Amino acid sequence: MKNFFFLLLGLLVIFGSVYLLWNRPVNMDKVGEVVKINDISFQVELADTAETRQQGLSGKPSLGDKEGMFFIFNTSDTHGFWMKDMKFAIDIIWISENGQVVHVERAVEPETYPNVFYPSVPAKYVLELASGSANKYRIDIGAVVQ
């Protein structure tokens, strides 16, 4: 009888642990954010601190289709971007505070470093996508970003 009790208790602990493991809340820090332009969804990594904005995509090997990095600045300004330590070309898309694309630089190559690219008007957000994405998904000035 004693062995049966411990066997039953052990099974309850095992099944309870499995239940708690499968039903734990998702850690939102690990889930990618989504940015939509022209009804196309892009999975993005946020760059919303001085450190993450400075690091950007530097050192990363590549971006997949519909993947990018979304930079969030504290204020609208003509935020400049360069290709320091980049390993692949990108499209750089500046977005106003009200969610409209205000400037696009296409196919910016790593070899352009140390040139700095600036928007023609102030922007609060910047989206970096794999080179060719702006053309492929028809992203141009005036497009609405969600």
63 within a domain of the structure (yes/no): yes
Domain count, the chain: 1
What would the pLDDT profile of 28-85 be if each residue is shown by its tens digit? 333 479 999 999 999 999 999 999 999 999 999 999 999 999 999 999 999 999 999 9
Structure token digits, residue 56: 């950007």
53 within a domain of the structure (yes/no): yes
CA atoms in the 13 A half-sphere facing the CB of 137: 24
Structure token digits, residue 91: 């499209």
3 within a domain of the structure (yes/no): no
- CATH code: domain of residue 107: 2.60.120.1140
What would the pLDDT profile of 121-135 be if each residue is shown by its tens digit? 999 999 999 999 999
State pTM to two decimals. 0.78
Give the domain range for residue 72: 27-136
15 within a domain of the structure (yes/no): no
6 within a domain of the structure (yes/no): no
CA atoms in the 13 A half-sphere facing the CB of 131: 11
146 within a domain of the structure (yes/no): no
64 within a domain of the structure (yes/no): yes
